[in-house]
Structure 1
Amino acid sequence: MNISSILAGKGNNVITAEPEASLGSVSRTLAENRIGAIVILDGNEKVCGIVSERDIVRQVAARGADALDQPISVCMTKKVVSCDRQSTIDEVMGIMTRNKFRHIPVIEGGKLAGIISIGDVVKHKIEQAEREAEELKQYIAG
């Protein structure tokens, strides 16, 4: 199974922000949309960063409430690890586990095509295990 199967179910809509957006506004966007990360796009719609809730918490802990007025570019991860639709779910799960990421953008042809969360991966793996268990029961029952 590959990432396209997850995107087929959840869609390609990704909440994004510009590098100049403030930490405060990005924090509100995360809370309002009940998401854990936001992809940062430059003026050409290219991925130039990603920011997670943890990134914002670290910045506020280090700088206090004044951090909320800073541009999100101060705490975004600039070296974004991504996947594409053909990446396998196991590959993406391995990347997330090794790097302790909870979100990975999906990029196709240099453009943002979606985002995968650890929740998406776990949900898919559980569904896969349930299907396999049901198939095995059917096989045994004959």
Structure 2
Amino acid sequence: MMVRNILAEKGSEVFTLPLASTGMDAVNALAKYNVGALVVASEEMAILGILSERDIVRAIRSNGVSALEQPVSELMTASVQTCTEDSTVPELMELMTEGRFRHMPVERSGKLIGVISIGDIVKRRIEDIQREADDIRSYIASA
């Protein structure tokens, strides 16, 4: 399965933060949208970074509650691994496992068009495995 198929099923809504946001803005947005990461993007949807719950926890551990007053530019991961609509689920599984991250922005022509989470990938893999099992059962029953 390809990323384009996942986005077609789940939609391409993505929650972003402007670079001028603070850590507290990020915490509020994470809670409001019930997501684990937010993409920091320009008005033109160019990806500037990604900020996860894990980034915020690390910042609070290092700097205390004052970390929430810091700009997201100081809290985010600036070097973001991205994928395209043509990326495959096995490719994403490998990248996310090796990089130890759970959210990957999807871009087209340098612009953010969606986010794929490890939960999206697991859901699709379970569906694929169930479909294969059903096909095998049908084949055996018809033999």
Q: Is the deviation greater in 42-51 or in 10-19?
A: 42-51
Aligned residue pairs: how many?
Answer: 142
TM-score, normalised via structure 2 length:
0.97
Residue of structure 1 equivalent to 2:48: 48
* Percent identity over paired residues: 44
Deviations 1:20-65 (A, max 9, x none): 1000011110011110000001244210100100000100111111
What is the root-mean-square deviation of aligned Cα atoms in Å? 0.8
Structure 1: distance between partners of 2:81 and 2:8:
21
Structure 2: distance between partners of 1:133 and 1:43:
45
Structure 1: distance between partners of 2:44 and 2:5:
28
Structure 1: distance between partners of 2:82 and 2:40:
13
Structure 2: distance between partners of 1:7 and 1:107:
12
Match of 1:20, as an amino acid?
A
Gaps of 5+ in 2: none
Structure 2: distance between partners of 1:76 and 1:108:
22
Deviations 1:43-89 (A, max 9, x none): 44210100100000100111111111110110111111000010000
Equivalent positions of 1:51-70 (< 5 A) are: 51-70=51-70
Gaps of 5+ in 1: none
Structure 2: distance between partners of 1:45 and 1:10:
20
